[in-house]
Structure 1
Amino acid sequence: MTLPSQQASLAWTYHAHNATLDVVFFGNFISPSGWVGWGINPTTAEMTGTRSLISFPDPNTGQLVLLPYILDPTVKLQKAPLLSRPLDHIHLLTSSAKMYGGKLATIHDGAQVEIYATIKLSPNKTKIHVVWNRGVYVQGYSPTIHPTTINDLSSATTIDLLSGVARHENDLKTLKIVHGVMNGISWGVMLPIGIIMSRYLRHIEALGPTWFYVHAGMQLTGFFLGTIGFAIGLKLGELSPGKVYGLHRKLGFIAVCLGSLQTLALLFRPKTTNKYRKYWKSYHHFVGYACVVLGVVNVFQGFEAMEASRTYAKLAYCLCLSTLIGICIALEVNSWVVFCRKAEEEKLKRDGVITHPSSEKASGSFN
Structure 2
Amino acid sequence: MPLLFVLVFLSSYVRTAFSAHCSTTTATKTFEKCMALPTQQASMAWTFHAHNATLDLVFFGTFISPSGWVGWGINPSSAEMTGTRALVAFPDPNSGLLVLLPFILDPTVKLQKSPPLSRPLDIQLLSSSATLYGGKMATIHNGAAVQIYATLKLARNKTKIHLVWNRGLYVQGYSPAIHPTTSNDLSSIATIDVLYGFSSAHKDDTRTLKTVHGILNAISWGVLLPIGAVTARYLRHIQALGPAWFYAHAGIQLSALLIGTVGFATGIRLGELSPGVVYGLHRKLGFAAFSFGALQTLALLFRPKTTNKFRKYWKSYHHFVGYACVVLGVVNVFQGLEVMGESRSYAKLGYCLCLSTLIGACIALEVNSWVVFCRKSKEEKLRREGLIGGGSDKDSGSHG
Which string of whole-angstrom CA distances, capped at 9 and with x for unpartnered residues, describes residues 126-180 of structure 1? 32211123442243x5444334455544432222223322359776564444334
Q: In structure 2, the residue corresponding to 1:38 is in which secondary structure?
A: strand
Q: Is the 8 A contact 1:29 1:113 kept in 2?
A: no
Q: In structure 1, the residue corresponding to 2:124 is in which secondary structure?
A: strand
Tell me, yes or no, if structure 1 residue 296 matches structure 2 residue 330.
Answer: yes
Q: Which 5+ residue runs of structure 2 have no aligned equivalent?
A: 1-34
TM-score, scaled to structure 1:
0.78
Tell me, yes or no, if structure 1 residue 96 matches structure 2 residue 128.
Answer: yes
TM-score, scaled to structure 2:
0.72
What CA distance in whole angstroms lies between the structure 1 residues aligned with 2:132 and 2:358? 56
Residue-pair matches, total: 359
1:116 Cα offset (Å):
1.2
**1:166 aligned to which of 186, 199, 204:** 199
What CA distance in whole angstroms lies between the structure 1 residues aligned with 2:145 and 2:361? 56
Q: Is the 8 A contact 1:34 1:138 kept in 2?
A: no
Matches within 5 A, 1:1-367: 1-6=35-40, 8-27=42-61, 35-55=69-89, 67-85=101-119, 87=121, 91-100=123-132, 108-109=140-141, 110=144, 112-121=146-155, 123=157, 125-135=158-168, 136-139=170-173, 142-148=175-181, 152-166=185-199, 174-236=208-270, 248-303=282-337, 305=340, 307=342, 309-311=344-346, 317-353=351-387, 354-357=389-392, 359-361=395-397, 364-365=399-400
Q: Is the 8 A contact 1:93 1:120 kept in 2?
A: no
Q: Is the 8 A contact 1:46 1:241 kept in 2?
A: no
1:222 Cα offset (Å):
0.8
Q: In structure 2, the residue corresponding to 1:347 is in which secondary structure?
A: helix
1:301 Cα offset (Å):
4.4
Q: In structure 2, the residue corresponding to 1:273 is in which secondary structure?
A: coil
Per the alignment, residue 11 of structure 2 pairs with none
1:261 Cα offset (Å):
2.3
Distance change in 2, residues 1:51/1:215 (3 Å)? same
Q: Is the 8 A contact 1:179 1:232 kept in 2?
A: yes
1:307 maps to amino acid: E
Distance change in 2, residues 1:199/1:134 (3 Å)? closer
Aligned-residue RMSD, C-alpha: 3.9
What CA distance in whole angstroms lies between the structure 2 residues aligned with 1:39 and 1:215? 54
Q: Is the 8 A contact 1:179 1:229 kept in 2?
A: yes
1:350 Cα offset (Å):
3.2
Q: In structure 2, the residue corresponding to 1:179 is in which secondary structure?
A: helix
Q: Which 5+ residue runs of structure 1 have no aligned equivalent?
A: none
1:218 Cα offset (Å):
1.3
Which string of whole-angstrom CA distances, capped at 9 and with x for unpartnered residues, describes residues 235-291 of structure 1? 445556797766554443332232222222223333333333222211211221222
